Amino acid sequence: MDLKETKEALNKFAKYVIQQSRSNLTRNNKNYTKSLYDSLKSDINVSANSFSLSFIMDEYGVFQDKGVSGTEQKYNTPFSYKQKMPPIKPIVDWAKFRNIRLRNAKGQFAKGNYNTIGYLIARSIYKKGIKPSLFFTKPFEKAFNNLPDELVKAYALDLDGFIDYTIKTI
């Protein structure tokens, strides 16, 4: 496999993974602000003896993909909440964007309670964690299995090592 074919195969691989990851975010209602969607990018460098392929996304994308175990509910993930709750400010911003509000005893919308909403949601996430969405992992694995055999053999690619190596955060 020559350098041009290698670069073309990797480019096709990267485009597929990004397109499918974005589709998964939209399909699974995880695309509220489009921040993660818009941050998904790839960087490919091919030389005679090696190549590098990096996928770049906002830092929280890894947690959305792999999930995070809470203090009460566990998932098969390397990430977990132990002592610190998730940051409240992004949750407050999300609640404002989604226009989520609490009601008072009369059933009317209460004013100025976004910090309370942020705290309550953060506490829930701390306890229950974040369920793995695999929005990135599933298309990555599918595309990896469809890479040309010559490319996989020429560079002795291993799926787990390739995933760990290629995900970078901004």
Query: Measuring CA to CA, which residue among 141, 162, 145, 135 is closest to residue 39?
Result: 135
Residues 76 and 26 in one domain: no
Vertex 122, ends 119 and 128: CA angle to 5°? 140
State the pLDDT at residue 87. Answer: 93
Residues 7 and 22 in one domain: yes
Residues 103 and 136 in one domain: no
Residues 57 and 80 in one domain: no
Residues 146 and 160 in one domain: yes
Residues 118 and 60 in one domain: no
pLDDT tens for residues 51-61?
888 999 999 99
pLDDT tens for residues 62-72?
999 999 999 99
DSSP characters over 65-81? HH-BB-SSS--SSS-B-
Q: Residue 19 belongs to what domain range?
A: 1-67+132-170
Residues 126 and 77 in one domain: yes
The number of folded domains in the chain is 2
